Each structure stands twice: as C-alpha cells, then as structure tokens.
Amino acid sequence: MAGVAMTRMRGAAIILAMLIAALAAAVAATVFADQQRWGRTVELRRDQVQAQALAMAGVQWARRILDEDARRSEIDHLGEPWALALPPIPMEDGEIRGAIADAQGRLNINALGYGVESSPEHARLAALFTQRGAPSGALAAIGDWIDSDSAVRDSGAEDAYYLARAVPYLAGNAPLLRVAELSFVKGMTPRALSAVLPFLSALPTGTPVNVNTAPPAVLAAIANNLVGERLDAFVADRARKPFTTVAEFRSRLPEGATLASDIGLSVGSRYFYVTIEARQGATRSRARALVRRGGGEDSAIIWQIVE
C-alpha cells in the first residue's frame, strides 16, 4: 500500500509540475503579447505625433510661400507658385503633400448676414444656389443664422425653429467661421450643402471676390449670361492673361455677358485655405487652416484644425 501511495504522490507531483509549467508558459506568452501591444501602441502614438507635426509644419511652409508672393505682386492668379499643389514629398518612412486655395475665389457666405437682399453679394449667392440646385429659400435662413437679431426673415428661422427640433439648439447669430457650419441651418440638407460647399467661403464681411481665381461656377454667378462655351472661352483667356484690374475683367467679358456691379470684386487676395496631408509609417494626419495675409506683415492663422 505504501508503494502505491508513493506512486500516486509522484504522479500527482508530475501533473502539478506540468500544470505549473503550462501556467508559467501562458503567463509568459501573455506578458510577451502585452509587451508587443504596448510597443505597437507606443510606435503608433509616436508616428501619430510625428505625422501631426509634419502637417503643422506644412501650414507654416504655406505661410512662407504666401508671404513671399505678397512681396512680389499685389495681383493673385492661378499661374503663381502658391496655386501649384505640393506633390508628395518622401520623408523617412513617410511623405507630405499639400495645397493652397484662394478663399477669396469663392463667394463669402457671411455677406448674407448684413446689407440688403438687393446687394450684389446677395444676388451672386442667389444665382449660385439656383445654378447648383440648392434651395434659394435657404438664403433667408442663412441670413437669420448669421445676423445678430432675433427677427425672422421671410422663409428664415431663428431660435424658436431650432429649439423645436429633435435635438434642440440655438441659432448662431454670428458670422460663420467655417462653411461646414451651414449644416445646422434650416434647408441646408447634406445634398444642398455638398452642391455649393466648394464655391463658398466664410470670411469677414466686405471681403471681395478675386475674379482671377474664381472657379467657373462663381464667375457664372458674378456675370450675367456667362455660361457654356462662352464661359469656357473666358476662363481659357483668363489663364493666358490674368486681369490686372476689375475694369479689365469687365472689358474682357465676352459679347452677350454683362456685369451688374463691380462692388465686391478684386484681382488680389488676403485670405487663403491651406490643406496639408502627412503620413508617418501607417499613421496619417491632415491639417486645414485659414491664413490671412496682411499688407507689410507676416501672415496669420485665423483657424487651424489638425486631424
């Protein structure tokens, strides 16, 4: 019996040792896996920080480009160096690319919050909305969203309308900082917003539209009967010889096209949108900014978003 007991004890000891060894192996494997995950997390975080730093450095690069351009000329057009997209530049385990767009080549949506509906700025915005298939009735609601009073315009909306929504909120009652804020305004559905978004800017009131950089859709909203082949030929002519004055812009309009007013137009710009994309390893970052170029002073960043 003693021998049988000893045999059982030795068997139990062997099984226990095997269990301990298996447990130790499992613990080691878990620790190793945790270390790998931790190391990967640190690596990704490091790459994320570096990608964001590259993107923000790209915005500073854009500022220098714009400042240098301002020292060379007071006229801004699409044939200048700033208007050329920065192609992908390889970095160590990454790359960076970017582009500068003239914010004044677009119609300033903040003009709807001030002035009267008969103003040239309002007429141009109404024409753009009509041409792009966006609801023209939304213009009144946008004006109510931007102005500081609580009076409701015809087809407009103030706090009472927005407080009655499923998720209530208040009207902005202030100029927009970014055009994307229009998604909160009555009538601005995702479809309507996407139709006009590329042709709108959100700048201080009184900021003119640069006819040298305005895309065809904006030119068509500025001048009457500037459409089709007539518009295509006009844009091609502008590319060959940018306008030096607004008067020249008017004089070179094709036969049949007319300009109701010179108000709110220019051939130079102060506000620019900058978009920089950077990659470090498998991590990507994007910086977007609105840059204001001042006369005789270094440019300033009005807002910046890093994602």
Split at pLDDT 50, 70, 90, the class of 299 is: very high
State yes or no: pLDDT of 24 exceeds 80. no
Question: Confidence class of residue 92 from pLDDT cuts 50, 70 and 90?
Answer: confident
pLDDT at 178: 95
CA distance 35 to 24: 16
Query: Is residue 39 predicted with pLDDT exceeding 70?
Result: no
- Asked if the model's pLDDT at residue 297 lies above 90, the reply is no
- Is residue 254 situated within a structural domain? yes
First vs last Cα of the chain: how many Å apart? 76
- pLDDT interval class at 30 (50, 70, 90): low
Tell whether 22 is covered by a domain. Answer: yes
19-25, long-range: CB < 8 A, 24+ apart = none
Tens of pLDDT, residue by residue over 97-148, are 999 999 999 999 999 988 667 799 999 999 999 999 999 889 999 999 999 9
Q: What is the mean pLDDT of residues 287-294?
A: 93
Residues 6+ apart with CB under 8 A from 286: 55, 275, 276, 277, 278, 306, 307
Q: Do residues 253 and 268 lie in contact, with contact meaning Cβ atoms separated by under 8 Å? A: no
The two tokens of residue 111 are 């003009």
Residue 206 falls within a domain, yes or no?
Answer: yes
Residue 157: inside a domain: no
Which of 9-13, 66-70, 230-234, 263-267 bottoms out in mean pLDDT, i.e. has the lowest? 9-13
Indicate the residue type of 60: Q
- Confidence at residue 27, expressed as pLDDT on a 0 to 100 scale: 54
Cα(192)–Cα(200) distance, integer angstroms: 12
Nearest partner of 98 among 271, 278, 272, judged by Cα:
278
301, β-bridge pairs: 291
The pLDDT of residue 302: 95
CATH code of the domain in which 260 resides: 3.30.1300.30
Q: Are 278 and 95 a contacting pair, CB within 8 Å?
A: yes
Evaluate whether residue 164 is within a structural domain.
Answer: no
What mean pLDDT is reported for the chain?
88
Q: Is residue 86 part of a domain?
A: yes
**pLDDT at position 298 over 90:** no
Q: What's the rounded mean pLDDT across residues 163-174? A: 95
| Closest C-alpha among 50, 35, 40 to residue 91 | 50
Residue 263 lies in a domain: yes
Instruction: State residue 114's pLDDT score.
Output: 82
Instruction: Please write the tens of the pLDDT for every residue from 67-78.
Output: 999 999 999 999
What contacts 53, CB < 8 A, 6 or more positions away?
none
Number of separate domains in the chain: 1
Q: Looking at residue 28, what is its pLDDT?
A: 54
Q: What is the pLDDT of residue 281?
A: 86
With respect to residue 145, please indicate whether it lies within any of the assigned structural domains. Answer: no
- Could you tell me the residue range of the domain that residue 293 belongs to? 1-133+189-307
